[in-house]
């Protein structure tokens, strides 16, 4: 499977706060888009996985906010798989506006079934 993906998008009006900055909670919604698009680029639709009963839940997240993003900024998100076990995937993220680094982050997601219990990551998603 592909292990890195880059996507560009604009900060939406409804995502910025009173300071005019992208609200810090929104970064996690961007990182989720990064994971989903990395998966899609590798040929897998997360929506389809969920219909099959395969879910990924975030178990750990760490972010360092370096510089604010503002409404209408064009930002670039790079998402990278850095480690994978039979049930967990570790991603790293870099969010930039041009050459300005806005945030770096790392998450661990775990594969669970409909019951919320850990289950092995399906074979076709294994990074080789």
Question: Do 1 and 128 form a contact (C-beta atoms < 8 A)?
Answer: yes
- What is the footprint of a copy of itself within residues 8-67 (CB under 8 A)? 12-14, 16-21, 23-26, 28-29, 32-33, 36, 45-47, 50, 55, 57-65
Token pair, residue 54, equals 């395969």
Is residue 101 within the footprint of a copy of itself (CB under 8 A)? no
Cα dihedral 63, 66, 71, 74 sign:
negative
Number of residues in contact with a copy of itself, rule: CB under 8 A? 37
- Residue closer to a copy of itself (CB basis): 71 or 97: 71
Using a 10 angstrom Cβ sphere, with 0-12 exposed, 13-18 middle and 19 or more buried, the burial of residue 45 is: exposed
Residues that bind a copy of itself (CB under 8 A): 12-14, 16-21, 23-26, 28-29, 32-33, 36, 45-47, 50, 55, 57-65, 68, 70-72, 116
């Amino acid at each position: 499977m592909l292990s890195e993906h880059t996507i560009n998008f604009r900060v939406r009006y409804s995502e910025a706060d009173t300071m005019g900055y992208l609200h810090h909670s929104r970064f996690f919604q961007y990182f989720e888009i990064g994971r989903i698009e990395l998966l899609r680029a590798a040929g897998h639709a997360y929506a389809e996985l969920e219909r099959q009963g395969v879910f990924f839940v975030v178990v750990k997240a760490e972010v360092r906010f370096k510089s604010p993003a503002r409404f209408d900024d064009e930002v670039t998100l790079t998402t990278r798989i850095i480690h994978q076990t039979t049930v967990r995937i570790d991603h790293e993220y870099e969010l930039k506006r041009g050459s300005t680094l806005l945030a770096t982050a790392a998450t661990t997601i775990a594969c669970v079934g409909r019951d919320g219990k850990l289950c092995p990551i399906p074979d076709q998603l294994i990074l080789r």
